[in-house]
Amino acid sequence: MVNFTYHVPTKIEFGKDKEKEIGAHIASYGYKKVLLCYGSERIKKDGLFNTVTESLKANGIEFVELGGIVSNPILSKVYEGIKIAKDNNVEAVLAVGGGSVLDSVKSIAAGAFCHNDIWDYFMLKDAITGALPIFDILTLAATGSEMNCGAVVTNEKTKQKYAIQSPVLYPKVSIMNPELMKSVSKDYLVYSAVDIIAHTIEGYFNATVQPHFQSRIVESIIQTVIETTEILIQNPDDYNARAQFAWASTQALNGLTTAGTAPFIYPNHMIEHSLSAIFNIAHGAGLAIVIPAWAKWYFKRNEEQFKRFAKIIFDTNSAEDGIEALKAWFKKVGAPVSLKDANIDENRIDEITANAYEASKLWGLSDVYTKEAIAEILTLAK
Amino acid sequence: MVNFTYHVPTKIEFGKDKEKEIGAHIASYGYKKVLLCYGSERIKKDGLFNTVTESLKANGIEFVELGGIVSNPILSKVYEGIKIAKDNNVEAVLAVGGGSVLDSVKSIAAGAFCHNDIWDYFMLKDAITGALPIFDILTLAATGSEMNCGAVVTNEKTKQKYAIQSPVLYPKVSIMNPELMKSVSKDYLVYSAVDIIAHTIEGYFNATVQPHFQSRIVESIIQTVIETTEILIQNPDDYNARAQFAWASTQALNGLTTAGTAPFIYPNHMIEHSLSAIFNIAHGAGLAIVIPAWAKWYFKRNEEQFKRFAKIIFDTNSAEDGIEALKAWFKKVGAPVSLKDANIDENRIDEITANAYEASKLWGLSDVYTKEAIAEILTLAK
């Protein structure tokens, strides 16, 4: 195991009716005015908006609103939020939604606090120095953003889907009520499942130091995601499955699986970000396309670990069979597993490659993830 | 899954040489004077005491000392520490040692802050209202105290081994350098292994709501403890095994395994505490005696989970075989598995029962853990 620091200060409030406590949580910090961010107007129809704002009012907390945050959240909306936050001198930011709303809120929180243009931090030109305090009520479990300090946003003008990360971006309190997640469509449930699996397997497969204990935690998460996704496809109202799915999602990207593993990278995410930046497909859908192709391209570099995965997750013996079994599972639950499945013309591979290669250079991965390597992976995904 | 709150604010600094940073961590909070607590004088010979005090001095931190804390830490030593802390107006408390030192430090930290006699809190007469800030350098991994908010101390006059728990008792920073743990004797390595397994299986077996995800995390910890204990018995210098053993130990009792499980209790710990309170045997040794007996007494109440355990951990099919396999493993690695093995006369069962029953009443468990039930379990442990 390599040296590491593990420090996740976020308080998780998990379970039924927990969203009713949001006002009390924010008030316990003494904040009196928040920016309330959300996605579609659906939350105004289904009662959640009302529950949240009643809780804020009951605790003497004023709020201003930013709605309309979309999946694959965009930079222009972040700028809009930063302006509202500054104009209204809000003291904290509250996300009500999934990972896209939360990542937008994290970006707004940093942008409203720091001096630089927020995109400078995504371009790694400078380090984030602080952020407004972040609270959230999660309505879709997938990104793990509720218990980590990262955020991903797309600059829609430049088609760059990049990330920020800073300890100041850990939410103070994240509320996770699995009942609020049951209205997620079957497609987004599946994309979320792929995303969670993707979070765990990056380090699992490409870290050169990968202790068994960390592998076992990863496998526990993947087994849980596979089991609960299949239950939820049949019965979206299964609370216990929904809850385990959500909690596994949180554990998949809060540092637990990678504590003590050697430096590892996120090549599948890097390449997928180009797909969703250019074609605006769901992140999980893009990952289901990239992962099997990347795995075929990569597995000989770490064949023992791929064999382990094959055996433990799919009870099959070879690395190749494990990769095929994962691809087959993605397909079975309804995720696209090729560019063609997502109606992406293979003639666009050069464009996707060029986009991903820019990220590869920015993140210092271009020695391995050359243009040629990325193109080869994408060709395997045709 | 049942509702839960998960909030573990402790920062873990894990790895080689991390103990050299202790002064900087304490100074980052602005504290200038600490009470430094430890066990045997060995740390003055092996250089650790020097490393720690140099780090404190380099960061302008004064210290006063309390040495001589023993395994199964005793209340009189806690009082001694509280007096030193108060007399010297220390601002924080630093433990350098294993779980006994850390639990003593937590008790000192609470006792120096709160108005009541510290034992009142162990007797559940009042709730802890605050504590001096706690820091630690862990030299033995077993109790999980480095990332939780509990502490266990023995009142040597009354022979009561009881516990306190409060969110104010989470350490601020816990330093875990596996290299500092390699001087642990083979016996204590084994007792530690039993203790870690014991922490995970209490909830695993007796919670009525036990989601698969939480079971998988427990199984990951147990598999890791079994694997690394066997490696470390052969080769105490195996850093990677030592590190995984330690990190699994931390995860075994920080709330991760029990998040979302139904109310669960610690009957094995309760009964063992009477053994170590009366006979001063190592806690892990006592647990190895109690667990197989308790499991035989209990398993029919939750047979499916015992079968699951048998299959996944020992690849055997019946609940009984799983229990026997666990007992055999304890025996194989050198732990006592009966009262006789620990030279405890079976004529003392009444005395042990009476002691454990007092705890059973205090903790509200006496409907199930009656005198008769406790005696029956102890008889199975003869």
How far is residue B84's CA from residue B109's CA, in Å, rounded to a whole number?
Answer: 11
How far is residue A212's CA from residue B224's CA, in Å, rounded to a whole number?
Answer: 7
Q: Which of A7, A248, A260 minimises the CB distance to B213?
A: A248
Is the minimum CB–CB distance between B29 and chain A shorter than 8 Å?
Answer: no
Is the minimum CB–CB distance between B28 and chain A shorter than 8 Å?
Answer: no
Q: For position B263, what pLDDT does the model report?
A: 86
Contact A217 B212 (CB under 8 A): no
Q: For position B375, what pLDDT does the model report?
A: 98
- Pick the closest to residue B98 from B219, B185, B225, B218 (CA basis): B185
Contact B14 A259 (CB under 8 A): yes
Does B171 score more than 90 pLDDT? yes
Q: Tell me what the mean pLDDT of segment B357-376 comes to.
A: 97
Secondary structure of residue A184 in the 3-state scheme: coil
Predicted TM-score (pTM) of this structure: 0.97
Q: Tell me what the mean pLDDT of segment B104-120 comes to.
A: 97
Q: What is the CA radius of gyration of chain A?
A: 20
CA distance B216 to chain A (A): 5
Chain A residue with CA closest to B242: the answer is A1
Instruction: Name the pLDDT band for A352 (thresholds 50, 70, 90).
Output: very high
DSSP 8-state secondary structure symbol assigned to residue A13: E
Among A10-14, B261-265, B292-296, B323-327, the minimum mean pLDDT is found in B261-265
Summarised one tens digit per residue, pLDDT across range B338-353 is 999 999 999 999 999 9
Q: Which of A13, A217, A243 minimises the CB distance to B5?
A: A13
Contact B219 A224 (CB under 8 A): no
Judging contacts by C-beta atoms under 8 Å, the chain B residues touching residue A260 are 14-15, 243-244, 247
Q: Which of B11, B14, B217 minimises the CB distance to A3?
A: B14
B102 alpha carbon, distance to own chain's centre: 10
Q: Which of A1, A2, A244 minimises the CB distance to B212?
A: A244
Give me chain A's average pLDDT, please. Answer: 97
Is the minimum CB–CB distance between A13 and chain B shorter than 8 Å?
Answer: yes
Site of tokens 């920073």: B173
Residue A221: in which H helix or E strand, if any?
helix A212-234
Chain B residue with CA closest to A172: the answer is B7
Residue length of chain B: 382
Percent of chain A past pLDDT 70, that is, above it, reads 100
Chain B residue with CA closest to A5: the answer is B13
Find residues 89-108 of chain B whose CB sits inside 8 Å of chain A. none
Summarised one tens digit per residue, pLDDT across range A148-176 is 999 999 999 999 999 999 999 999 999 99
How far is residue B356's CA from residue B272's CA, in Å, rounded to a whole number?
Answer: 8
Contact B217 A213 (CB under 8 A): no
Neighbours of B155 (CB within 10 A): 17
Give me chain B's average pLDDT, please. Answer: 97
Q: For position B213, what pLDDT does the model report?
A: 98
Secondary structure of residue A162 in the 3-state scheme: strand
How far is residue A13's CA from residue A19's CA, in Å, rounded to a whole number?
Answer: 9
Neighbours of A28 (CB within 10 A): 12
Does B107 score more than 90 pLDDT? yes
CA distance A260 to chain B (A): 8
- Amino acid present at B47: G
Chain A residue with CA closest to B216: the answer is A220
Q: For position A44, what pLDDT does the model report?
A: 95
The two structure tokens encoding residue B89: 């107006």
DSSP 8-state secondary structure symbol assigned to residue B74: B
Contact A213 B248 (CB under 8 A): yes
- Amino acid present at A353: T
Is the minimum CB–CB distance between B155 and chain A shorter than 8 Å?
Answer: no
Summarised one tens digit per residue, pLDDT across range B32-52 is 999 999 999 999 999 999 999
Chain B residue with CA closest to A251: the answer is B256
Secondary structure of residue A382 in the 3-state scheme: coil
ipTM: 0.97
Is the minimum CB–CB distance between B1 and chain A shorter than 8 Å?
Answer: yes
Contact between B72 and B154 under an 8 Å Cβ cutoff? The reply is: yes
- Amino acid present at B79: Y
Does B326 score more than 90 pLDDT? yes
CA distance A43 to chain B (A): 23
Contact B1 A219 (CB under 8 A): no
Q: Tell me what the mean pLDDT of segment A272-301 comes to.
A: 97
Query: CB pairs below 8 Å between A and B: how many?
Result: 113
Percent of chain B past pLDDT 70, that is, above it, reads 100
Residue A322: in which H helix or E strand, if any?
helix A319-333
Q: Tell me what the mean pLDDT of segment B312-334 comes to.
A: 98
Contact between B307 and B322 under an 8 Å Cβ cutoff? The reply is: yes
Contact between B371 and B357 under an 8 Å Cβ cutoff? The reply is: yes
Residue A5: in which H helix or E strand, if any?
strand A4-6
The two structure tokens encoding residue A20: 């009713």
Q: For position A151, what pLDDT does the model report?
A: 98
Is the minimum CB–CB distance between A178 and chain B shorter than 8 Å?
Answer: yes
What Cα–Cα distance (Å) separates residue A46 from each residue in A243, A366, B102, B374? 20, 47, 49, 52
Judging contacts by C-beta atoms under 8 Å, the chain A residues touching residue B239 are 1
Q: For position A263, what pLDDT does the model report?
A: 86
What Cα–Cα distance (Å) separates residue A117 from each residue in A35, A171, B330? 19, 22, 60
